[in-house]
Amino acid sequence: MTLLRHAAAALCLAAGLLALPAVAPAGEALSDTQMQAVDQRIHDYLMAHPEVIIESLQAYDQQRSQAEAAQQKQAIADLREELLHAPGDPVGGNPQAGFTVVEFFDYHCPYCKAVAADFLDAVKKDGNVRVVFKDFPILGDSSVFAAKAALAADKQGRYVAFYRAVMALKGDLSEEAVFRAAKAQGLDVERLKQDMAAPEIAQRISRNYDLARALGIHGTPAFIIGDELVPGALPMSELMAKVEQHRKG
C-alpha cells in the first residue's frame, strides 16, 4: 500500500493535481484539513484514471528488473573464474569448446528433470558448448544425497551418465534408487559410497550454495549463459538461441 500511495502521489504531483492555492506559508506543514484536500484530489484523480496505478507499477517492476539484471551481470563478471573453472567441477559437452554454459540444478526438481535430457542432447548436437554442472540441492536431504553421489560418480569418470540416469528417475529419490542408477551406469557402488563421504564433496556443494546466493539464484534450474542469468526451464530452442546470441556477441 505504501508503494501505491507514493506512486499515486508522484503521478498527481507530476500532473499538477496538487497545485493547491498557497494554503500554508513556506516551511510550515499542511494542516489536517489541507492534507485531507490533497488526499481527496489524489483519490478523485485515481478514481477517474485508475490505469495510472497499473502503469506506475509496471514502470517500477521494469526498473527493478533492470537493476537486478545489472547486479547479476556484475556478479557474474566478478565470479566468472569460480563459475567456469572451479577445481573439481564436473564438465560435460565439449570440454575444449570456447563457450561455456553453467547449470545450477537439483535432482529432485521436476523442472530440472523436464529439461535435462533435452539439454544434454542439444549440447551434444551443437558440438561447441562446454557445460559446467553446479550441483545445487535445495529440495531436501534426498537432493543432497543425490548431489553427493553425482560428485562422487565424477571421480569414476561417469558424471554425465549418472546425471542423465538420475534425472530420468521417477517418484521418490531414495538412496536405493540412486544406487541402482549408479550400478546401471557401471559405477563401483562401494567406492561411490566411500567417495560420497569425502570432505571435498560437501565443500563443493557448500561453495555452490555461496555462488548461488551471490548471484541471486533462488530456484532451479538456473543457467549462466554468457553474462546472463537465465532462470527456469525454457524451451530448448529458446535456451540454445540464447547460447548462440551470447556466443556471437
Give the domains, in start order, of the chain with CATH numbers: 2-75 (no CATH), 80-248 (3.40.30.10)
Higher pLDDT, 48 or 92: 92
pLDDT at 123 over 80: yes
pLDDT of residue 17: 45
Q: What is the pLDDT of residues 65-107, one digit of tens each?
A: 777 778 889 999 999 999 999 999 999 999 999 999 999 999 9
> pLDDT of 11-45, one tens digit each?
544 444 444 454 455 556 778 888 888 888 888 88
Q: Strand 100-105 relative to strand 130-135: parallel, antiparallel, unpaired?
A: parallel
**Distance between CA atoms of 162 and 225, rounded to whole angstroms?**
23
**pTM metric for this prediction:** 0.77
Confidence of residue 1 (pLDDT cuts 50, 70, 90): very low
d(CA 18, CA 229): 43
- Chain centre distance of CA 177: 28
Q: Residue 58 carries which side chain, given as an amino acid letter?
A: Q
